[in-house]
A and B are shown apart, each in its own frame.
Chain A
Amino acid sequence: MTWRIQGASGAWEAVMGLEVHAQILTVSKLFSSAACAFGAEANAQVNLLDAALPGTLPVCNDHAVTQAVRTALALSATVHETSVFERKNYFYADLPLGYQISQYQQPLATEGELEVEGEDGTRRIGIERLHMEQDAGKSVHDMHDSASFVDLNRAGVPLMEIVSCPDLRGPKEAASYLRRLRALLRTLGTCDGNMNEGSLRCDINLSVRRVGDTELGTRTETKNVNSVRFVVQAIEREAARQVAVLEEGGVIVQETRLFDPNKGESRSMRSKEEAHDYRYFPDPDLLPLVLRAEWIEQQRASLPELPQARARRFEETFGLAPSAAWLLSEEPDNAEYFEALICGGRDPVRCANWLVTNLFSALNESGIEIADSPVSPDELGVLLDLVEQDKLSGRQAKEVFEEMWQGGKSATEIVKARGLEQISDADTLRAAVELALNDNPEQVEDFLSGRNEKVAGWFVGQVMKATGGKANPQLANRLVQEALAKRKS
């Protein structure tokens, strides 16, 4: 259902675009040889260029370019054979050069798209452009009461800016866009997607208009929205704020707003009038970036299977439900786990359901990544095989899994130790059924006379009780029906 904001005077719709800054996964910075690992001591990863010493010159990191090109290709964008690095000029203490090297008029790639799942079902969201740029350093204002400090570790770190078209219409859609983009980047290995480390940052452009209007309203840009949850929150708040302003007869000011994750609110940072004139011009220290068409094609041909294609394959080849297929494709590690689990010929649908319902909730609860799961695909496979062979019931399997999760023991060991193995041997169970029938002639009579045919279920319960819950319930049911039917004749 299309997302609407219900105002006092009627329904409104929101028009949104996301600008995502993704840190390119590389060893060194975009134009210098300094490292860009996360978490280093302040100013430990700074070379002469990063500190903008006189006479130093930028040299482009080829690997960063390759990474950005692969990302653009995965987004079905057109990668341009010639793109140009420009200087975006502004003064700030954490911008040593006094300009950021970015791409402006001739970006690396344009016209891509990404399929999302949101309020309006499956839709394709356009991607206007993908370009490369340097990150700035970090100013620290709270370490001293009269001095500020600057950490240049991030200065010059390579980023991809991925700008969507204003195609998004709802918070779910926006959340899906961000989630799927992140999955894509992680699958490509071009960005680690760690939003809490700042590797992936998101700004939201949003305007509202009355349902049916075709003209766009004035937009605001909300910066620093750094989790999927905050994206939903920021959109809901900002859309509601704009509707309230407009309904009260006010106007939306074109401005940049800063999202505060602690309060879940945004506040105005600067208006259009205060906006910088960045005086972009081509960086004379760098030649235009020229890529050979055949090289671009080589990159395209060597792309890995992307999450959406994988989800489609899981649906089509294995018959998974779309939601399960996506959950297992989203993260490369999920897919790897799933494919390892089914590789012994196990039923993909059952395996998928088990992962989605049991393994993922266990991972969520303990807050660990699937790659660090204490239960490996092989170990889980043994457990699922026991279920498949009717040696364990579903409920028993869950109990065994919980113990496996604590670590150390295999499924077979736990089953043995707990004496849990399900009784699926027909002769053993038939004996238990006969015993139950013989012990309860009254109930047998109720069944035979037709007074109460539901009593069959009661007998299954008796068999379960007699076997300490180990009887295979389906088999027990069948044998009870058979035994009663025999007495009837």
Chain B
Amino acid sequence: MSTSTVPTGRTKVLLVDDHDLIRKGLRHAFERDRQFEVVGEAGTAAEAVRQAGALQPDVVIMDLRLPDGSGLEATRALRKASATMGIVVLTMYAGDDQLFGALEAGASAFVPKTAPADEVVAAARHAASAPSAFTAADLAEAMKRRLAPAGPQLSPREGQVLRLLADGMSVNGIAKQLFVSESTAKTHISKLYEKLGAANRAQALMTALRLGLLEAPDAPKF
């Protein structure tokens, strides 16, 4: 492992992955680029934290699954020690949990292992210049997914009932409007209250407004 710390003006990179052939592949990619210099490699999370302390790299390429623990833990430790270190999280796992986990741990970039080596280098370039600005190819989509429906899921019928409740209709009125019996309407209402964690109509409507299940009644209805 190279331990050169000679100031060269280049961006110093530490590679963390438990497969040495992956480290080798990435090392080649970084060495082709004049901006970078690979100063160290680590195969475990503990080794990564130790080397990062000793070598003070500008960018760490961090695999998420390491033999002695999660790369997220190591990322958190590195971020705590330095606010300016670029950290690129590399993972095979799909799923938004991984992406948001990396964001919350303080990573600078998130790259799936499906991406070509050049993308890892590009992410490292970004991480070196803006370590605190998180970037990921899928970020916007993932954000949208996370923001999508967080609250309870209403059936179409319950949505109708909710709007009728907001209009101030009585149970009897709702039953007539929906062409169902009064007890069926009551069942819908009690299920709706339960989903919204509400004990009465006012609470249910407040919760629904807060969750965006109802439009605020700003426009006059009639």
Q: Say if A and B assemble together.
A: no
The interface of chain B, by Cβ under 8 A from chain A, is none
